[in-house]
Structure 1
Amino acid sequence: MKKYVRGTAIVGVLTLAVAACGSKPTEENAGGSANKDFKACMVSDSGGFDDKSFNQTSYKGLQDAVKAKGLTEVKAESKSDNDYPTNMTAMVNAKCNVIVAVGFKLEDATEKAAKANTGIKFAIVDSAPDTAKVGEIPNLKPLLFNTAQTSFQAGYLAAAMSKTGKVGTFGGIKIPTVTIFMDGFAEGVKYYNTQKSKNVQVLGWDDAKQTGLFTNDFEDKAKGQTNAQNLITQGADIIFPVAGPAGLGGLQAAKASSGKVNAIWVDTDGCVSAAEYCSVLISSVQKGMDVAVQDAIESVVDNKFDNTQFTGTLENGGTSLAPFHEFDSKVPADVKTELDQIKADIVSGKITVASKAQPKAS
């Protein structure tokens, strides 16, 4: 897997779009394409490709691969969890060369499709086959990210920036790819308290009991706003939403506070993906899904594909804290130095992140 900095050549793109539930593809030729017969395909989860977070970042990786290699793009946007098997079948029927599934919730549909279609290469974001249950799947590559590490930094940052001594988090659905962020965040706050002899409280998640506040979906912004407002009412002045588009409701609540409440975003740099909320975003926990997806697709084009699990970490740049943007002058220099040291200590093993939701070693 390449390091997370690259240049990309821009070439013509041939695009096929497949709507949810496998309706007839539409074709648009945007110019000459070097590998137009190679179909690079993607199925979103129910958050959709414009979620300003998880799916959108993964989709950028598909787009980057298509541009760099001159491929044909095919995509299926799922409107609900019921669409996953149908959309995966649509990709198979479209004779895709590689199919990328975005998210843990597509695990079952992806594994079944990969096992039934050994001539197609697959990759899945945030999931790895349980080989003890389903056996080895040679044509399926897992793309995982240890966001507990970066969320640890985010928790420390939130604790350092809080004025009320209370910070809050809420999730979308209680699954490991969500709770991994919440675990790391809570651990980072605890580390701050230990280092500084403080008592900053985490509202919305108890990492020891694994209980907390959830919207129970990734789509309902109103639920996200309500959850955030509940945390704010309890005194939280920094919010860490881990809920995809539903989490945007949390940013709305922060923005409506007239400067009293700020937030930290997840999956991608929120000041880029959701720029309208940049004024309340201290930073973001980034996952390099775009680069991982692009690399996975290009490995198939270049006949270098393997099913070895990729795990993005602080060490390899697969996960990182985003720039502070409008908060750069507000984050104290000593806090920035401490965050750098925390990164170094996590990489070296001096700091151990405990979350059980962390990806297992490949």
Structure 2
Amino acid sequence: MKKSLVAPALLSALALSVAGCAKAPDATSAASDAASAATSAAGQAASGDFKACMVSDEGGFDDKSFNQTSHDGLTKAKSELGIQTGEMQSATPNDFAKNINAMVAAKCNIIVTVGFMLGDATVAAAKANPDVQFAIVDWNDAAKTAGLKNLKPLIFNTAEPSFMAGYTAAAMSKTGSVGTLGGMNIPTVTIFMDGFHQGATYYNTQKGKSVKVLGWDPKNPKGGQFVGSFGDVAGGSRIASTLTSQGADVIFPVAGPAGEGALQVAKKSGGKVNAVWVDTDGCVSSASYCSNIMTSVQKAMDVAVFDAIKAAKDGSFSADPYVGNLENDGVKLADFHEFDSKVPAELKGELETIKGDIVSGKIKIESASQPK
């Protein structure tokens, strides 16, 4: 979004008009101009006084994933809305409540928390501070937010583009096996894995194939492959190596920073193994691995965060959940980048059809973790 040029344009036009007519303004127009100037100055002061803040999950704002993308929305708000900002990074879950309360103490008008794990701490803070507005990325619990008018969930149906990613991975696999792993067994992780599994299964049904999905089966969630945290890169690498040793040649890590371990395994394979990244376009956020990133499942968290902050500043904030999906471009399958020439035109066409069928409801997404 670009800053408005309306006010400067009007002032320039007024200056030219006055110079051309060489006529002094009368008292009424002078008073009107003064009032307009005062209103403009007051608006600028209000913008400068408004403060938006953010608290990260333990992955931090440089996780090349959901924290970083959400933080981009805060950065954009500071630049385009002319507001003040504040932020706190969490090193462990013990930091969540402490960091949120620190942002309350810093007189933030809106506090955006990032990640499913911050849900309870955010609800507690919203209840204790009804004059502060809150938004949370990747969490929604209608029972816990009932009656709260100052907390807005920002959630995303990532099962939809993950379905497309699973179909793509199955179609591009040369070994007949693809794999996925998660950071933790929580709904905002398994929703990706559900969609990926369903998409690969759909490919098998459509093509009469039998591509295996290793690391996750929605019917046996306890048997899934999880690192246990989002910060353990070595753990991500270890699980990815296990999946590749079992035959997987496309890996889908849903693990935040820990997912870089899977990218490392792909890069070391010399092209035999590739990956699908999550949350952001991996060829942008993890450019050094782009040659091994087939595509990415993107969530427009930056846009959702910016819009929530802008609404809070403009006085139009609503606690109604925002749900990003394929239809409203809140989620999508990213470009193929360096794989573009390797992906058959037929497959690209099938993916467009699949996208349309998901949006229309012809293809039913089955993940139990998807937003209702």
TM-score (norm 1): 0.90
**4+ long deviations beyond 6 Å:** none
Amino acid across the alignment from 2:54: M
Q: Which has the higher strand share?
A: 1
- Name 2:303's counterpart in structure 1: 291
Matched, 1:103 2:115: yes
Task: Name the CA distance, whole Å, in 2 between partners of 1:100 and 1:56.
Answer: 13
Instruction: Tell me by how many angstroms 1:140 deviates.
Output: 0.3
1:48-127 counterparts in 2 under 5 A? 48-127=60-139
Pick one of 161, 166, 177 that aligns with 1:166. 177
Three-state SS of the structure 1 residue aligned to 2:47 is coil
Residue 271 (1) aligns with residue 283 (2): yes
2:59 and 2:314 map into 1 onto residues whose CA distance is: 31
Q: Aligned equivalents of 1:34 and 1:75: distance in 2?
A: 20
1:344 and 2:344 matched? no
Superposed, which structure 2 residues align to 1:131-210 within 5 Å?
A: 131=143, 133=144, 135-210=146-221
Equivalent residue letter for 1:273: S
Paired residues of 1:111 and 1:129 also in contact (CA < 8 A): no
Using the alignment, how far apart are the partners of 2:296 and 2:2 within structure 1?
A: 24
Greater share of helix? 2
**How many pairs are equivalent?**
333
Q: Given the alignment of the two structures, is residue 216 of structure 1 paired with residue 235 of structure 2, yes or no?
A: no
CA distance in 1, matches of 2:245, 2:228: 21
What is the TM-score with the length of structure 2 in the denominator? 0.88
Q: CA deviation digits over 1:55-91, x for unaligned, max 9?
A: 0000000111111110111000001111001001100
1:323 aligns with 2:335: yes
Q: Amino acid of the residue matched to residue 63 of structure 2?
A: D
Which residue of structure 2 aligns with residue 281 of structure 1?
293
Could you say what the CA RMSD is over the residues aligned between the two structures, in angstroms? 1.4
Q: Distance in 2 between matches of 1:258 and 1:59?
A: 33
**What runs of 5+ residues in structure 1 fail to find an aligned partner?**
1-6, 11-31
1: CA distance, partners of 2:145 / 2:210: 45
Contact 1:35–1:71, Cα closer than 8 Å, also in 2: yes
Which runs of 5 or more residues in structure 2 are unaligned?
5-43
**What is the CA-CA distance between 1:34 and the residue it aligns to?**
7.2
Deviation string for 1:107-152 (max 9, x for gaps)?
Answer: 0110000011010110000111332x55321100010000000000
1:313 alignment partner AA: N
Residues 36 and 70, structure 1, Cα contact 8 Å, conserved in 2: yes
Residue 37 of structure 1, CA deviation: 1.1
The CA distance in 1 between the partners of 2:125 and 2:99, in whole Å, is 11
- Compared CA separation, residues 330 and 33, structure 1 to 2 (3 A): farther
Aligned-pair identity in percent equals: 61
